[in-house]
Copies of this chain bind each other. A is one copy, B any other.
Amino acid sequence: MKRRDVIRCREKAWKMLQKAHIAITAEEKQNMEIADCGFNDIENLGLQIVVYENNQRYCAKELVLFPNQFFPEHSHPRIDEWNEGKQETFRCRWGKANLYVEGEPSRYPKAQIPDEYRRYLTVWKEISLMPGDQYTLLPSTKHWFQAGNEGCIVSEFSSASVDEADVFTDPRVQRIPVIEED
């Protein structure tokens, strides 16, 4: 993504955080991660991330999704002998999120995903999260999610986050963002 697009997305996510009465510092705004997964199609696919804390034991983030933005299917595999992979709890703070996990596929899932991304989605058990709702995912389980029409803000509480270890179903995904200077 180009630097100017990253800055635009940070501004847009920050306005959503303000609307939801969630305070972040100027430094957190400036360091907000815009994860476009290398597709350069951020309005449809991606995620805005404020990392509050990530240490060897636990991690806390605020995830901001634009209206109908979706984040592709992935899992958090075992890292080594001591770390069985990231376990995470998603708690909806504002807006509405649809989370898709392993299990009996939902008959009428609400997700609307462009075909070029949809073909890499293999888990379809829908968990709808409204403000105050949460769901915990065990390590090594596949999942993906999409915001509702107004977007959403989701707190993520987890064990240590090692993003570069994430395994995506779509082989095109580049999880670690690269910013091109304008």
Residues of A at the B interface (CB closer than 8 Å) are 20-25, 28, 52-53, 55, 57-60, 87, 89, 91-94, 130-134, 136, 155, 157-159
Given contacts A53-B89, A157-B52, contact A132 B28 (CB under 8 A): yes
Which residues of chain B have C-beta atoms less than 8 A from A132's C-beta? Answer: 23-25, 28
A55 to B22, CA, bound (A): 25
Given A24-B132, A55-B136, A59-B157, output 17 extra A-B contacts at Cβ < 8 Å: A22-B93, A23-B92, A23-B93, A23-B130, A23-B131, A28-B132, A52-B91, A52-B157, A53-B89, A53-B134, A55-B87, A57-B159, A58-B87, A58-B157, A60-B60, A60-B157, A155-B155
Which residues of chain B have C-beta atoms less than 8 A from A21's C-beta? Answer: 20-21, 94
Tell me how far the C-beta of A58 lies from the nearest C-beta in chain B, rounded to whole angstroms: 4
How many copies of this kind of chain does the complex include? 2
Set B23, B58, B130: member contacting A158, Cβ < 8 A: B58
Set B20, B28, B133, B157: member contacting A25, Cβ < 8 A: B133
A25 to B52, CA, bound (A): 24
Given contacts A52-B134, A132-B24, contact A87 B157 (CB under 8 A): no
A57 to B23, CA, bound (A): 26
Contact between chains at B20 and A52 (CB < 8 Å): no
Which residues of chain B have C-beta atoms less than 8 A from A59's C-beta? Answer: 58, 157
Contact between chains at A57 and B89 (CB < 8 Å): no
Tell me how far the C-beta of A12 lies from the nearest C-beta in chain B, rounded to whole angstroms: 19
A130 to B25, CA, bound (A): 10
